[in-house]
């Protein structure tokens, strides 16, 4: 195809970090007005290429062309000036600033009394954007970002990218924190962008999104470009084969572990306006699924259970004995461990190494009387990192340089090393590719077979049905039902209960 028909090209891109080559002769070609899906396992190089296009990283070789001409992109502002914007998987708003201030940061409207910001004009422009994308009803320009949910923050990031009047918008796992309704709204926005001839690079691990949205799909594997296909000319099995380069089981591993005694019982958990009279049990060897729509209160309940959030009323029983958890260290002492959904804020210290992150909540197990036993620490961290198959050059690699999926594996490794009696996994496969998902499912079943009690919160219905022995469903802060039979009708039953049983 003629180069002039592309709005963006990446050709022959190489990139190495130290001695590790993460991209080798990679290419990507984006047409105006198309949605181009980018797929590959975690660590395949997708996000690295996008960061090169955005000027965050500098490539070792290759070239970027914009509208047929070589582009010099040395920093993010260069990309934005050209008309290239990116919505990152890991959101980074400024919590204390307002929605309007976050959207127009660096582009604040100045009044004739410069250098003062014309906040009225800033809010007016933000309000127009919110109205254009059907969000004015529940988000105000003057609302501080810290008051927004993760899903609402994601939508504001999308509006921010649109506000640059970009010709290319890169979306990295944009639906990972969105409800079904918000996802539908995002797809509507993408339709508007296509109609305006904006090219969209759409990174996702969700096959259904590729076949719903994308015109073409490029597949990366191990830092190499594998193929580009018209979506209408390919299928799920072909894409998976190109992504992983190996056979994958299409099903979920069966948890055959015998169900033992009740390990954990939550009784009458309540917090005004958030959840009310929530009670459930989980047994040794059992995987208990917590289902519900965004805002149902699932994450809030388990955050209160491990001491992250305040609990107004309720009791916790561990192996039949009542315990008190008012701080995360109390949960840790009782071997109740949580792998949180938000790995950036609660799961990891991104500026520290993999080893330090795994060690963080396990220092008492690895230290001597006065000092950390470095040999014991290195061995334990290396073994657990290998078990969860973290792709790394060294256990001393910085956690922030890992792909999102490998960061999630570090969170899991840290949790497993703690030796929990109860492991709570909040969206354990969020932003993780099909190969890594299969590995995490296998680990979950192995842990259950060793007698661990597992609580899994998931927004993916096939995952809930495939991995759970039982599913407890929440709606508007209350438990609306429980399912033990994961038959073909269970999905409809869960959805009905999630909507309040109507």
pLDDT at 360 over 90: no
pLDDT digits (tens, 9 = 90+) for 250-265: 578 889 899 999 999 9
275 closest CA partner among 469, 470, 480: 480
In what side-by-side order are the strands of the sheet with 20-30? 69-70, 61-66, 8-17, 20-30, 224-230, 216-221, 35-39, 199-203, 168-172, 84-87
Of these ranges, 95-99, 217-221, 353-357, 483-487, the one predicted with the greatest mean pLDDT is 217-221
483 closest CA partner among 307, 254, 292: 292
CA dihedral 244, 248, 250, 256 (to 10 degrees): -130
Helix (H, G, I), strand (E, B) or coil at 100: helix
What are the extents of the domains in the chain?
3-244, 260-335+420-502, 350-419
pLDDT digits (tens, 9 = 90+) for 271-282: 988 999 999 999
For all residues of the chain together, what is the average pLDDT? 85
Q: Give whole-number Cα distances, 49 to 118, 135, 190, 334, in Å.
A: 37, 31, 22, 43
CA distance 367 to 268: 38
- Do you know the residue count of the chain? 502
Band the pLDDT of 188: cuts 50, 70, 90. Answer: confident
CA distance 5 to 26: 20
65 closest CA partner among 193, 217, 168: 168
What is the average pLDDT across 454-473? Answer: 90
Question: With pLDDT > 90 as the criterion, what percentage of the chain qualifies?
Answer: 38
CA distance 76 to 74: 7
pLDDT at 35 over 90: yes
The domains spanning 3-244 and 260-335+420-502 adopt the same CATH topology: yes
DSSP assignment of 222-291, as one string? TTEEEEEEEGGG--HHHHHHHHHSS---SS-----PPP-SEEEEEEEEEETTTEEEEEEEEETT-EEEEE
Phi, psi of 273 (to 5 degrees): 80, -5
What is the average pLDDT across 53-77? Answer: 93
Phi, psi of 147 (to 5 degrees): -90, -5
Phi, psi of 270 (to 5 degrees): -145, 145
Is the CB of residue 175 less than 8 Å from the CB of residue 203?
A: no
pLDDT at 81 over 80: yes
DSSP code of residue 401: G
Which tokens in the block code for residue 297?
A: 């209160």
Residues 6+ apart with CB under 8 A from 86: 50, 53, 54, 79, 161, 169, 170, 171, 172
Which tokens in the block code for residue 158?
A: 């999308």
What is the average pLDDT across 74-92? Answer: 86
Of these ranges, 52-61, 128-137, 400-409, 421-430, the one predicted with the greatest mean pLDDT is 52-61
CA distance 498 to 293: 6
Per-residue burial over 295-316, b = 16 or more CB atoms within 10 Å of its CB, e = otherwise:
bbbbbbbbbbbbbbeebeebeb
Helix (H), strand (E) at residue 83? none
What is the average pLDDT across 388-414? Answer: 81
Per the listing, tokens 């993999």 go with 354
Q: Give the per-residue pLDDT at 368.
A: 59
pLDDT at 36 over 60: yes
Question: In the CATH scheme, what is the code of domain 260-335+420-502?
Answer: 3.40.50.300
Burial tier of 150 (Cβ tally within 10 Å: 0-12, 13-18, 19+):
middle
Least confident of 302-306, 452-456, 457-461: 457-461
What is the average pLDDT across 309-330? Answer: 93
pLDDT at 249 over 70: no
When comparing pLDDT for 173 and 487, which is higher?
173
Band the pLDDT of 119: cuts 50, 70, 90. Answer: confident
CA distance 298 to 303: 9
Q: Give the per-residue pLDDT at 1.
A: 43
Strands (E), 292-402: 313-318, 321-323, 336-339
Domain 3-244 is in which class?
alpha beta
358 closest CA partner among 475, 366, 105: 366
Per the listing, tokens 């994450």 go with 299
End-to-end CA distance of the chain: 53
């Amino acid at each position: 195809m003629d180069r002039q028909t592309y709005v963006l090209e990446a050709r022959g891109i190489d990139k190495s970090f130290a001695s590790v080559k993460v991209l080798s002769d990679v290419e990507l070609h984006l047409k105006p007005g198309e949605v181009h899906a980018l797929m590959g396992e975690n660590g395949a190089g997708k996000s690295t290429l996008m960061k090169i296009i955005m000027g965050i990283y500098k490539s070792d070789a290759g070239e970027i062309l914009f509208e047929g001409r070589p582009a010099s992109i040395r920093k993010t502002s260069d990309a934005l000036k050209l008309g290239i914007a990116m919505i990152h998987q890991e959101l980074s708003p400024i919590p204390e600033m307002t929605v309007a201030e976050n959207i127009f940061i660096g582009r604040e409207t100045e009044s004739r009394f410069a250098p003062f910001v014309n906040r009225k004009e800033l809010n007016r422009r933000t309000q127009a954007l919110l109205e254009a994308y059907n969000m004015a009803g529940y988000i105000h320009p003057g609302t501080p970002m810290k008051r927004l949910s993760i899903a609402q923050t994601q939508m504001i990031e999308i509006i921010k990218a649109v506000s640059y009047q970009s010709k290319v918008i890169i979306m990295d796992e944009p639906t990972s924190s969105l409800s079904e309704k918000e996802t539908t709204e995002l797809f509507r926005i993408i339709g508007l962008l296509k109609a305006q001839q904006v090219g969209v690079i759409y990174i996702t691990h969700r096959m259904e999104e590729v076949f719903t949205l994308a015109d073409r799909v490029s597949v990366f594997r191990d830092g190499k470009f594998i193929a580009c296909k018209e979506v209408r000319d390919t299928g799920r099995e072909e894409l998976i084969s190109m992504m992983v380069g190996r056979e994958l089981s299409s099903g979920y591993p069966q948890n055959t572990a015998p169900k033992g005694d009740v390990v954990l019982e939550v009784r009458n958990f309540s917090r005004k306006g958030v959840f009310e009279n929530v009670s459930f049990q989980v047994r040794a060897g059992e995987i208990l699924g917590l289902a519900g729509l965004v805002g149902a209160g699932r994450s809030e309940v388990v955050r209160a259970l491990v001491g992250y959030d305040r609990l107004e009323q309720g009791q916790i029983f561990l192996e039949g004995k009542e315990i008190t958890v008012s701080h995360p260290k109390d949960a840790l002492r009782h071997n109740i461990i949580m792998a949180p959904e938000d790995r950036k804020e609660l799961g990891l210290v991104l500026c520290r190494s993999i080893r330090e992150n795994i060690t963080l909540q396990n220092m008492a197990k690895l230290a001597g009387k006065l000092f950390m036993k470095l040999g014991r620490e290195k061995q334990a961290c290396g073994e657990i990192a290998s078990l969860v198959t973290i792709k790394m050059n060294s256990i001393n690699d910085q956690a922030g340089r890992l792909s999102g999926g490998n960061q999630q594996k570090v969170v899991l490794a840290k949790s497993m090393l703690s030796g929990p009696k109860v492991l709570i996994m909040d969206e354990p496969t969020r932003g993780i590719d099909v190969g890594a998902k299969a590995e995490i499912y296998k680990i979950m079943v192995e842990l259950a077979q060793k007698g661990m009690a597992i609580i899994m919160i998931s927004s993916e219905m096939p995952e809930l049905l495939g991995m759970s022995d039982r599913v407890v469903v929440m709606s508007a802060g209350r438990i609306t039902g429980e399912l033990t039979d994961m038959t073909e009708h269970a999905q409809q039953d869960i959805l009905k209960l999630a909507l309040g049983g109507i």
